[in-house]
Amino acid sequence: MLNLRVLFLLVPLVVCAPLAEDTEELPVRTNKVFRVSLEADHSTGYVWILKSTPETEKLVDMVRNYFQTDEGTKGHQIFALKTKGASGTANLVFEYKRPFDSHPLREKTIKLVSVAKSGERGVEGAS
């Protein structure tokens, strides 16, 4: 009987555990528009939100954010972003949550590596 109680106590902890963070690296040239496509189902109320941080504000500007439906309500949320003139790295952290929730259901981190083309100088190197 005691073992059954322990099992019932552990089950809610497993169900409530957050999903692991997903990370990948993306090299992009400075002053270029690039797209990030994330699977989404906009009928659920959940959307991807790009967290604003000093490092992302320094390296990227949002150009456009839109949904592309594949079949039914499932599809992709697409972020069109443009790198600024500065070379550097930034973690773009996308949270999948409803706008009124404080904690995301999922997170996706993309390590952006912004590189100036050979012979170009980024804003940081300009005088």
Q: Where are the domains of the chain?
A: 32-117
The model's pTM: 0.72
**Regions of the chain where pLDDT drops below 50:** 1-20, 120-127
CA-CA distances (angstroms) from residue 76 to 38, 61, 73, 117? 5, 20, 10, 30
Q: Which CATH number fits domain 32-117: 3.40.50.11540, 2.40.10.330, 2.60.40.2020, 2.40.50.100?
A: 2.60.40.2020
Q: Of 92, 122, 113, 103, which is closest to residue 46 (Cα–Cα)?
A: 103
**Amino acid code (one letter) for 56:** T
At residue 21, the pLDDT reads 53
At residue 8, the pLDDT reads 38
Residue 125 φ/ψ, nearest 5 degrees: -90, -10
Q: What is the DSSP string of 51-105?
A: PP-HHHHHHEEEEEEEEEEEETTEEEEEEEEEE-S--EEEEEEEEEE-TT-SS-S
Residues 6+ apart with CB under 8 A from 57: none
What are 32-55's pLDDT values in tens digits? 999 999 999 888 999 999 999 999
* Beta-sheet pairing, 22-29 with 106-115: parallel
